[in-house]
Amino acid sequence: MGNQFGSVYQQGRPAWMREGTLEAALLEGHDDLEVVGESHRQENLWRLLGGQHRPEVRVRMDVYAMLLAEDGNPFDVNAVSVWIDGLMVGYLPRDEARRFRPGLLAVQKREGKPIALEGVIAGGGMRDDGPGRLGVFLRYDPEDFGLAVPPVAPYVDARLRAALGEDLAGSKESPYDLVWMHGLSDDDIRGIKVLRNAVATESNVIGRHFIYAELEAALYRCRHVFSSALDDYDEVCKQHDREMDSIRSACIAHWGKIPVLDMYRQMAIKLQKQHDYGQALWWAERGIALYGNDAARPDAMDDLRKRAIGYRAKVGLETRLP
C-alpha cells in the first residue's frame, strides 16, 4: 500500500507538509494513545507553547497532531512519527506502531489526506527531581484504524454472553426461541432480509432486542456496500430505541441486569464523526439513563459517560453526569 503522506527518516519535515496550506482529515475519539520520545524533543514542545514557562507552572494546550508512517527508519520498519504544526514531537510506541500502521495507511488512502488526531501537550511544574518535562497525549477511536471491529457472532447466544458475561448469560435459559438464527449466514446482505423478517414476527421483547442488535450490526457493516445502509441503520436504531423501555423492564425481570446496549455507543460514534455533537450527546445520555445502576458490564456505562463528557464540552454544556 502506498505511503503518499508519510515521512522519510532523518530528512526532516516532508516536502508536502507546508504550514498554513496543509489540510488533514481529523479523526476524533476517546481512547488514549501513547506517544514516546518526547524527552528528546522538549525544545519543539516548548516552541509550540510559545516559549519556556516558569519552572513551577504546569501547562496544558489542546493540539491537533499528525500521524506519519515513516519510510526507511532503520530502528523500526513500522515507525509512526507524531507531528504538531510541522514539528516532530515523538513516536508511537513500537508495538502500537506495528498495530496502527496498516490502518493508518488505509484510512489516509481512503480520505486522500494525511491523518490528524486531537490531543494535548501537558506537563511542566516542579517535581522532586526538578522541572517536569512536557508530554504529548492523543485521543483516537480504534475502529477508525480497523483495530476494534467486533467479530460476527454466529449465534445471538454468543452476543448475549459477550453482553452479559458467562455467569449471568448461563444463569437462566434464554427466554426466547433462537430458531430464526438458522437462516443467517456470513452474507450480511442475505442476513439483513432474514433479520427484518424475524423482527416483524418476534413477539418476545428480549428476543426483539437481540434481533435488532444483529440487524444494526449487519447494516452498519454494509455501510460501504450499499448507499442506503446508514439510513436504514438509523431507522432501525430509532425503532429499537422506541422499544427500549419495555426491553429494559424485561431484562431486569429476567437477569436483574441490563446487557450491553451497543446501539447507543455506535450511534454516538457515528454522529460524532459527522460532528453532530448534540445528537451524539442525546444517544450517549439515553444509553446512560437506560443502564441506570443496572449495567451488567460497567465498562459499557463508563464508555458512554466518557463520551458524554466530551460531547458536552463540544456543545458547551456542563460535564456533570447524573
Phi, psi of 91 (to 5 degrees): -135, 160
Cβ neighbours of 256 (radius 10 Å) = 11
Q: Contact, 68 vs 80, CB < 8 A? A: yes
**pLDDT score, position 84:** 93
Cell matching residue 213: 442488535
Query: Average pLDDT for residues 157-167, to the nearest whole number?
Result: 58
All structural domains of the chain with their residue ranges: 7-145, 156-315
Which range of 50-64, 92-106, 171-185, 215-229 scores highest in mean pLDDT? It is 92-106
Q: What CA–CA distance (Å, rounded) separates 295 from 290?
A: 9
Cβ neighbours of 147 (radius 10 Å) = 15
Q: What CA–CA distance (Å, rounded) separates 56 from 39?
A: 18
CATH of domain 156-315: 1.25.40
Q: What is the CA radius of gyration of the chain?
A: 23
Q: How does pLDDT run across 108-141, given as a tens digit for each residue? A: 998 888 999 998 888 876 566 556 678 898 989 8
Cell matching residue 60: 496544558
**pLDDT score, position 170:** 57
Compute CA distances 87 → 19, 40, 137, whole Å. Answer: 10, 13, 15
Q: How does pLDDT run across 21-47, given as a tens digit for each residue? A: 567 889 988 888 888 888 889 999 999
Q: How does pLDDT run across 215-264, given as a tens digit for each residue? A: 998 898 888 788 888 899 999 999 999 999 999 999 999 889 998 899 99
